[in-house]
């Protein structure tokens, strides 16, 4: 196990993509776990999916930040500030860094999704490449006045990569030691590029950085563009769901709480110099237990019935269609989490049924 070298209490944390699925859950977890923490969230609130969900997530964060339920909380100051803005806007990013002076930066803002990148490549280059470059530049310049001021600059940059960097890797489980030079989507290529850019900035400017390759994250108030959410919408509307590659797909579905626990663990350990003199790490965070898509859908529909989202006699067989593979998709994702376990004594552990149960319960309350 690695020793923690960053105490998050009293720290200023910049979270990009704060209104997003993972970002909002991270902000809430940090506010719950650390009384004396100050979070600054950035999100452009784009309409890639229903912005109402993003607004509702933000409201929940504000409620927690203002709850004042702790004696130790810095009572005069809000523990959460938010700016609606684009990380591809260099001036905005620079001014946020200049004013807020973050100790830890968690970059989760990105244009997500594999299929959308085929029709909308610009969005990926803007958010995932230019946006991430702006964050790296701002981290670099955070050290400019380190000698003369109390602020020592960014102590750790944690950023979202993705299991998609493994492309159609044949070797499973996917290990961070595997060669990942064969992306099969633009999204994957931007995420791999983030790792390369972070490496060069860590080498050149000493920015300690950790990339996290998340594996198919699901949970309450998740992303409507992801299969489990889209399937649910379709089943509720009486439409047919399309199961790709005729159901012969496996995904390492990872519950959002496990992802957030992983991120919080990692935030507290800025990497020390490796054998090449670079403060740089990459980890997988995945459930380490891939599930066949047909089994996944079967558990999902059972949980939707028991939550009252679908009626008990729902004719599920009549609402599913097995179709060929989509461009950019891969047959299996399967995370090797050995490094995460060795360094942090942690691995995701929420069983799929339990995670889908909480999604179905949330869906019932939110939509039905």
- Binding footprint of ligand NAD on the chain (CB under 6 A): 16-17, 19-23, 42-46, 54, 86-88, 108-112, 127, 131, 160, 162, 214, 216-217, 223
Least distance in Å: CB of 36 to ligand NAD? 26
Least distance in Å: CB of 281 to ligand NAD? 17
Least distance in Å: CB of 21 to ligand NAD? 3
Report the residue number, 121 or 206, with the smaller CB distance to ligand NAD.
121
DSSP 178: S
Least distance in Å: CB of 212 to ligand NAD? 8
Q: Are 175 and 340 in contact (CB under 8 A)?
A: no
Q: How many CA atoms lie within 13 A of 140 on its CB side?
A: 15
What is the end-to-end Cα distance of the chain in Å, rounded?
45
Token readout for 12 is 């200023």
Residue nearest to ligand NAD (CB): 20
Q: Which residue from 230, 222, 15 is spatially nearest to 102, judged by alpha carbons?
A: 15
Least distance in Å: CB of 327 to ligand NAD? 19
Catalytic residue set:
187
Report the residue number, 86 or 288, with the smaller CB distance to ligand NAD.
86
H or E stretch covering 211:
strand 209-214
Report the residue number, 21 or 280, with the smaller CB distance to ligand NAD.
21
Token readout for 324 is 């060929």
Report the residue number, 83 or 339, with the smaller CB distance to ligand NAD.
83
Report the residue number, 86 or 350, with the smaller CB distance to ligand NAD.
86
Least distance in Å: CB of 315 to ligand NAD? 30
Q: Which residue has the tokens 């990009």?
A: 16
Secondary structure class of 200 (helix, strand, coil): helix
**Residues in contact with 118: Cβ distance below 8 Å, sequence separation at least 6, in sequence order:** 185, 186, 327, 328
Q: Are 11 and 100 in contact (CB under 8 A)?
A: no
DSSP 271: P
> Concatenated DSSP letters for 46-89?
-SSS-HHHHHHHHHHHHHHHH----TTS-TTS-SEEEEE--TT-
Report the residue number, 268 or 333, with the smaller CB distance to ligand NAD.
333
**CA dist., res. 288 & res. 348, Å (int):** 8
Q: Are 189 and 261 in contact (CB under 8 A)?
A: no
Least distance in Å: CB of 238 to ligand NAD? 27
Report the residue number, 41 or 153, with the smaller CB distance to ligand NAD.
41
Least distance in Å: CB of 363 to ligand NAD? 16
H or E stretch covering 361:
helix 352-367
Report the residue number, 209 or 216, with the smaller CB distance to ligand NAD.
216
Q: Which residue has the tokens 């931007």?
A: 190
Token readout for 253 is 């579905």
Surface-to-core class of residue 289, CB atoms within 10 Å of its CB (0-12 exposed, 13-18 middle, 19+ buried) = middle
Token readout for 71 is 């004696």
């Amino acid at each position: 196990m690695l020793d923690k070298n960053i105490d998050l209490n009293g720290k200023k944390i910049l979270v990009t993509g704060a209104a997003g699925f993972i970002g909002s859950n991270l902000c809430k977890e940090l506010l719950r776990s650390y009384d004396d923490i100050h979070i600054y969230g950035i999100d452009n609130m784009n309409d890639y999916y229903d912005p109402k969900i993003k607004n509702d997530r933000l409201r929940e964060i504000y409620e927690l930040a203002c709850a004042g339920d702790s004696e130790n909380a810095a009572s005069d100051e809000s523990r959460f500030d938010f700016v609606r803005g684009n990380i591809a806007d260099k001036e905005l990013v620079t001014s946020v860094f200049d004013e807020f002076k973050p100790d830890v930066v968690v970059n989760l803002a990105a244009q997500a999704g594999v299929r959308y990148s085929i029709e909308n490549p610009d969005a990926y280059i803007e958010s995932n490449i230019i946006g991430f470059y702006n964050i790296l530049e701002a981290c670099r310049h955070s050290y400019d006045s380190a000698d003369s001021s109390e602020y020592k600059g960014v102590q750790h940059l944690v950023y979202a990569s993705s299991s998609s960097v493994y492309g159609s890797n044949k070797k499973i489980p996917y290990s961070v030691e595997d060669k990942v030079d064969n992306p099969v989507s633009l999204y994957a290529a931007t995420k791999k590029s983030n790792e390369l850019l972070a490496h060069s900035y860590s080498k050149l400017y000493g920015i300690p950085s950790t990339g996290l390759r998340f594996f198919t994250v699901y949970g309450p108030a998740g992303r409507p563009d992801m299969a489990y959410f889209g399937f649910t919408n379709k089943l509720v509307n009486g439409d047919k769901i399309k199961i790709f590659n005729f159901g012969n797909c496996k995904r390492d579905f990872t519950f959002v709480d496990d992802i957030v626990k992983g991120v919080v663990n990692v935030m507290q350990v800025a990497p020390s110099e490796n054998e090449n003199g670079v403060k740089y790490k990459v980890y997988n965070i995945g459930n380490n237990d891939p599930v066949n898509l047909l089994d996944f859908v079967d558990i999902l529909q059972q949980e939707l019935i028991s939550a009252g989202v679908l009626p008990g006699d729902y004719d599920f067989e009549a609402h599913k269609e097995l179709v060929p593979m989509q461009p950019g998709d891969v047959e299996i994702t399967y995370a090797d989490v050995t490094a995460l376990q060795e360094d942090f004594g942690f691995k995701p552990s929420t069983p799929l049924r339990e995670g889908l149960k909480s999604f179905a319960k949330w869906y019932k309350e939110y939509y039905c």
